[in-house]
Amino acid sequence: TPKYLKDYRPPAYWIDKIDLQFDLADDQTIVTSTMKIRRNNDVSDKLTPLVLDCRDLDIISVVADDMVLCSADYELTPETFTLPRVPELFVLEIKNRLVPHNNTALEGLYRSGRTFCTQCEAQGFRRITCFPDRPDVMTLFSCIITAEKKKYPVLLSNGNPVASGDLDNGRHYVKWEDPFKKPSYLFALVAGDLSCIEDHFTTFSGKNITLKIFVEHENKDKCSHAMKSLKESMAWDEERFGREYDLDLYQIVAVNDFNMGAMENKGLNIFNSKYVLAKTETATDTDFMNIQRVIAHEYFHNWTGNRITLKNWFQLSLKEGLTVFRDQEFSSDLNSRAVQRISDVRKLRTFQFPEDAGSMAHPVRPESYIEMNNFYTMTVYEKGSEVIRMMFEILGRELFRKGMDLYFARFDGQAVTTEDFVQIMEEASGIDLSQFRLWYSQSGTPRIKVKREYDSANRTLTIHLTQNTPPDHNQSEKKPLHIPVKYGLVSLSDSNGNSEPSGNSEPNGNSEPHRNPEQNDHILHLKEQHQTFTFNDIAPETRPSLFREFSAPVIIENDFSAEDLAFLMANDTDEFNRWDAAQQLYFMELKRIIGLLQDEKASNPDKTYNDMAPPLSEHLVNAFRESLCNTTLDRALIAQTITLPGESEIAQQYDPIDVDAIHRARQIMKQTIAEKLATELDDIIDLCSKADPEDLSHEAMADRSLKNIALSYIGSLDSTSSHQIIHKHYINAMNMTDKIGALSILCNSTCEESTLNQALAQFHLMWREDPLVLDKWFTVQASSTRPGTLENIKALTCHPDFSWRNPNRVRSVMSILGTGNPYIFHRKDGNGYAFFAEKIIQLDKINSQIAARLAGAFNHWKKYDLQRRTLMQQQLEIMVNTPDLSRDVYEIVSKALSA
Ligand code: ARG
Ligand code: ZN
């Protein structure tokens, strides 16, 4: 049964203090919890029972105020522990038994290899002990860990170590105390035999903080980038937001088995090792960037999440949207802002837009959930961050900072809501955000139609904007949103043009564009469904550049021609919009080719798309050449500009989706460009091959990204010589970026089976001992679109190095198939669907959280042709009718079916 936001009630009892003791052993763990409990007299009286959350706990003993209780004194169900009558203030001691090595859900206390570790967010603490497992119950924690000293020399929890020593039988203990109250989801424990890398950071008030990263001994040489990133994050949060770290110790532990990316537990972050470990031989440039971003994200949570936490889980975006915004700004300030924005928008468009249009669509602040873990979504995280970014744009940098300062001052130590956040921003700025709030409660991606009108007699340019959000199961009617449209006017005489609109020429009462002298000057405020903005004294041939830096998470339907787009690609001063103009140009051409393919098929049903090759427009090749050969541009930006939209991004423009035509059109585009621009591509590859393979500067990474994308064009050609070029690059690669880059191109080329197999075997032999590199070996094969890929994927899941118990390994094959390789997943015979559903059902027994993630691949089944739709529906039915299906998978599958 779902939980609803409208049913929220404050907790009936508070837990002022919890003292935990964990006695760890190989076969079992005994947990002893001693809680100081106090009735919340605001909402409870002496008749209010104490109900604690629990999940399948094996209770050994219960003592209330020194009275030993028997099992008749309390009520235990699989999910609750209830004491019917309790005093206003009392101490409750509960002892229970856990078997961490059997915990394959990786939630609560579990083992990753030999290491004990925990994951409590969102509701894992109840798998450890009975507790009001909700974020608005904030408690002081202490934690004693005891274990065999030889096997588990390192014993960690939140806060500061306050006592330690040896015990009998070769055991030892450490006692930890966290001076800050926290909700149970931020509790953490780690025990194992780990290496520690130590460093220090001096805060702006002169406090010396000890920084420790714990990893398996063999990974000691892969931590320096994570440590550097941590220090950069600490300095940046001081500089940009005035936030200082609050404990004397900051610890990070890397584990190999982890459901998500990382976890911000107070003073003891636990990370998926993918987001810690890196050296250039084993990690790609993208890995290095991701590590910097995720380290920062978890660090920033200390203020946005931990010091100020959530009143209930519906408010998740209060911490996640805001912290993603902060990590995006951090990455932008430290690296290239334009490249960062492009990659964030690509992610939003590829993953969040479809989510917002599918069966799992939900507002940034959801109103209900069946399984909370299913709501750690692109909408809560990425769209949530866009919502913060829009407030940042509407308020301007200074007022936004003023609002943040007020937020920290007002709510420190409290559990609050997104509404509290918006209110504080209004209070700090004096700007009315009442309509803006709809971004939190209304789901769906708004579509903005742009229509231009130029009056050459009066030299006025009029822009008509219309917004529409399609109805969905959350709201049958959508209201107009407050949408900030950052803009500029681009003409040859003054390509920086920013003239102000002369107000609103719409006759029927449309409001003036929102104006405030302290605000960013170059924003149009779209608030009505239709609004018109007129600019005076505008030269002919002036193009508006709208939604600069992607100022709102919307789908923009421009009225631009190919010439307009080529003009903006060349002349817009906004780097994001220059890139976006290129993307729009590719889309336009891809759609044209897809149309031609479908027409040809309609008149020749026996022909396959592979036998068709409609020619590419000359203007596209020319625009591509201009971008490729622009020597004044940052090469990282060139690389982004010459990257075509992915197949899933193209698919969003279609209903029904023709996966085969989309695949073929993109292939034709790549091959034609590769043929026509062979010399230019070769020159670029040469030019960009000079970087030192160990160099992680922006310039070196930019060169590699441009080289590898250029190589992928060459590799798309069906010729032995092009395969030889890629193979040579594979052999000569001196770091993982280039190695896996070339191998992945080979996997997608038409090269000889034997060439590919030899390269793959060589790679496997070299890296079989390194799980993160081996994940890449699985991934490049699962991403292939060569014939036989599905059969190969099936074989890969039976490979001795494959494991259903390791989330990274499962993702390296299954998530790639389900979301990264539509051409194979949506094979017309339905074998992709059947294999996928069968594995979801099996995986559900091991790790339902990961199984539910995979099940999302079926969320858009209604957007495909009848045959595929029917085949997907069949698999959804099989899943939903599986006995003992987890809540996690049930929610995804049942919502898909009923959408
Ligand atoms: N709060 C973590 C982060 O964003 C994510 C943890 C989510 N875990 C989960 N099981 N849903 O950094
Ligand atoms: Zn987070």
Atom of ligand 1 nearest to the CA of 849: 10
pLDDT above 70 for 217: yes
What is the token pair recorded at 628? 């490729």
Residue 378 to residues 131, 351, 386, 600, 676, Cα–Cα distance (Å): 30, 7, 11, 38, 38
Give the other-Cβ count within 10 Å of 350's Cβ.
18
State whether ipTM is beyond 0.90. Answer: yes
Please tell me the distance from the alpha carbon of residue 679 to that of residue 677, in angstroms, as a whole number. Answer: 6
Ligand 2 geometric centre to CA of 537 (Å)? 48
pLDDT for the residue 509: 32
Neighbours of 626 (CB within 10 A): 14
Burial class (CB in 10 A: 0-12, 13-18, 19+), 613: middle
How far, in Å, is the centroid of ligand 1 from the Cα of 832?
A: 29
Determine if ligand 1 sits within 6 Å of the CB of residue 298. yes
pLDDT for residue 341 is more than 60 = yes
Q: Which two tokens stand for residue 3?
A: 């939980």
Give the residue, by CA position, lying nearest to ligand 1 atom 1.
263
Evaluate: CB of 260 within 6 angstroms of ligand 1. Answer: yes
Residue closest via CA to ligand 1's atom 8 equals 121
Mutate which of 276, 376, 379, 853 for ligand 1 pocket (most atoms within 8 A of beta carbon): 376
| Residues paired with residue 262 on neighbouring β-strands, in sequence order | 271
Say whether pTM exceeds 0.90: yes
Ligand 1 atom showing the smallest separation from residue 372 Cα: 11
- Residue among 435, 448, 425, 440 at smallest CA distance from 481: 435
371 lines ligand 1 (CB under 6 A): no
Residue among 106, 107, 121 to mutate when testing ligand 1 (max atoms within 8 A of CB): 121
Q: Which is the closest atom of ligand 1 to the Cα of 259?
A: 10
Q: How far is the CA of 36 from the centre of ligand 1 (A)?
A: 28
Overall average pLDDT of the 112-119 stretch: 98
| Biggest CA pair distance of the chain | 95
Determine the distance separating the centroid of ligand 1 and the alpha carbon of 212, expressed in angstroms: 21
Whether the predicted pLDDT of 4 surpasses 80? yes
Q: What is the mean pLDDT of residues 63-92?
A: 98
Q: Give yes or no for residue 262 CB within 6 A of ligand 1.
A: yes
What are the strands, taking DSSP E only, across 28-170? 29-39, 50-53, 58-64, 67-69, 75-76, 80-83, 89-98, 108-112, 115-119, 139-148, 154-157, 160-166
Return the ligand 1 atom nearest residue 119 CA.
10
Contact status, residue 585 vs residue 565, Cβ threshold 8 Å: yes
259 lines ligand 1 (CB under 6 A): yes
Residue of 845, 834, 852, 842 lying closest to 891 (CA atoms) = 852
- 896: CB partners within 8 A, 6+ apart: 358, 359, 360, 855, 858, 859, 861, 876
pLDDT at 495: 42
Does the pLDDT value for residue 367 go beyond 70? Answer: yes
Which H or E run contains 445? Answer: none
- Output the DSSP codes for 574-618: -HHHHHHHHHHHHHHHHHHHHHHHHHHHHH-TT--GGG--PPPPH
Distance CA(615)–CA(612), nearest Å, equals 10
pLDDT tens by residue, 186-200: 999 999 999 999 999
Please identify, by atom number, the ligand 1 atom nearest to the C-alpha of residue 301: 12
pLDDT at 624 over 90: yes
Distance 144 CA to ligand 2 centre (A): 27
Cα 301 to averaged position of ligand 2 atoms, centre (Å): 7
* Three-state SS at 283: coil
Q: Which atom of ligand 1 is nearest to the CA of 323?
A: 4
CB atoms within 10 A of CB 287: 21
Cβ atoms within 10 Å of 829's Cβ, excluding its own: 10
The CA distance from 172 to 167, in Å, is 5
Sort strands 13-24 and 139-148 into parallel, antiparallel or unpaired: parallel
Ligand whose nearest atom lies closest to the CA of 120: 1
Centre of ligand 1 from the C-alpha of residue 855, in Å: 19
Where does the pLDDT of residue 498 fall: very low under 50, low under 70, confident under 90, or very high at 90 and above? Answer: low
Q: Which residues partner with 23 through β-bridges?
A: 30, 146
Q: Has residue 203 got a pLDDT over 60?
A: yes
User: What is the rounded average pLDDT of the residues 534-540?
Assistant: 94
Compute the distance from residue 7 Cα to the ligand 2 centre, in Å. 25
- Protein residue with its CA nearest to atom 2 in ligand 1: 263
Nearest atom in ligand 1 to 124's CA = 10
CA of 520 to the centre of ligand 2 (A): 29
Which candidate, 43, 46, 48, places its Cα nearest to that of 8? 43
Provide the pairing of β-strand 262-263 with 268-272. antiparallel
Q: Report pLDDT for 704.
A: 98
Q: Tens digits of per-residue pLDDT, 853-879?
A: 999 999 999 999 999 999 999 999 999
Does residue 373's CB lie within 6 angstroms of at least one atom of ligand 1? yes
Cis peptide before 513 (omega within 30 of 0): no
Q: What is the mean pLDDT of residues 403-428?
A: 98
- Least Cα distance to 830 among 803, 889, 870 occurs for 870
- What is the residue whose two structure tokens read 């090269």? 751
Ligand 1 atom nearest 320 alpha carbon: 4
Report pLDDT digits (tens) over 37-49.
Answer: 999 999 999 999 9
Ligand 1 pocket check for 463: Cβ under 6 Å = no
Query: Which ligand has its closest atom nearest to the C-alpha of 376?
Result: 1
382 lines ligand 1 (CB under 6 A): no
pLDDT of residue 499: 60
Q: At what angle do helices 384-395 and 397-411 cross, to 10 degrees?
A: 120
How far is ligand 1, taken at its centre, from the CA of residue 377, in Å?
A: 10
Per-residue pLDDT of 715-758, as tens digits, reads 999 999 999 999 999 999 999 999 999 999 999 999 999 999 99
Asked whether the beta carbons of 67 and 90 are under 8 A apart, the reply is no
Q: Is 320 in the pocket of ligand 1 (CB under 6 A)?
A: yes
Three-class DSSP category at 535 = strand
Nearest-ligand number for the alpha carbon of 385? 2
Q: 542-561 pLDDT, tens per residue?
A: 999 999 999 999 999 999 99
Give the number of the atom of ligand 1 that is nearest the alpha carbon of residue 262.
12
How many C-beta atoms lie closer than 10 Å to residue 719's C-beta? 14
Query: Can 244 be counted among the known catalytic residues?
Result: no
C-alpha to C-alpha distance for 453 and 315, rounded to whole angstroms: 43
Q: Is 186 helix (H, G, I), strand (E, B) or coil?
A: helix
- What is the tens place of the pLDDT at every residue in 781-799? 999 999 999 999 999 999 9
Q: 649-679: per-residue pLDDT in tens?
A: 999 999 999 999 999 999 999 999 999 999 9
Q: Which of 117, 185, 263, 372 best tests ligand 1's pocket when mutated (most atoms within 8 Å of CB)?
A: 263
Tell the residue number behind the tokens 């301007």, with chain if given. 396
Residue nearest to atom 3 of ligand 1 (CA): 263
pLDDT at 521: 56
What is the DSSP track for 103-133? --S--EEEEETTEEEEE-TTTTGGGTS-B--
> Which structure tokens are listed for 272?
């998926």
Distance CA 106, CA 811 (A): 15
Cβ of residue 122 lying under 6 Å from some atom of ligand 1 = yes
User: Ligand 1 centre and the CA of 73: distance in Å?
Assistant: 36
| Strand order through the sheet with 108-112 | 108-112, 115-119, 189-192, 154-157
Nearest Cα to Cα of residue 189 among 100, 79, 301, 61: 100
Is residue 510 pLDDT above 70, yes or no?
Answer: no
Using the structure block, give the residue that is written with the tokens 């709510």. Answer: 411
Distance, in Å, from the CA atom of 798 to the CA atom of 821, rounded to the nearest integer, reads 20
Inter-residue contact 128 to 118 (CB < 8 Å): yes
- 899 pLDDT tier (thresholds 50, 70, 90): confident
- pLDDT (average), residues 256-277: 98
Taking the C-alpha atoms of residue 272 and residue 117, their distance in angstroms, rounded to an integer, is 12
Question: How far apart are the CA of 558 and the centre of ligand 2, in A?
Answer: 34
Q: Whose CA is nearest to atom 5 of ligand 1?
A: 263
Tell me the pLDDT band of 519, cut-offs 50, 70 and 90: very low
Gap from CA of 373 to ligand 2 centroid (Å):
13
Rounded-to-integer distance, Cα 36 and Cα 56, Å: 23
- By the 10 Å C-beta count (0-12 exposed, 13-18 middle, 19+ buried), 841 is classed as middle
Whether 264 is in the pocket of ligand 1, judged by its Cβ within 6 Å, is yes
Residue 138 · residue 13 · CB < 8 Å = no
pLDDT value at 818 more than 50:
yes
Q: What angle do CA 112, 114, 118 make, to 5 degrees?
A: 40
- Pocket test residue of 120, 259, 260 for ligand 1, highest count of atoms within 8 A of CB: 260
Peptide bond before residue 742 is cis, with ω within 30 degrees of 0: no
User: What's the distance, Cα to Cα, between the start and end of the chain in Å?
Assistant: 18
Q: What is the pLDDT of residue 842?
A: 98
Q: Which of 107, 121, 216, 298 is catalytic?
A: 298
pLDDT digits (tens, 9 = 90+) for 570-622: 999 999 999 999 999 999 999 999 999 999 999 999 999 999 999 999 999 99
Beta bridge partners of 146: 23, 173
Ligand 1 atom with the smallest distance to the CA of 305 is 1
The confidence band for 449, taking pLDDT boundaries of 50, 70 and 90, is very high
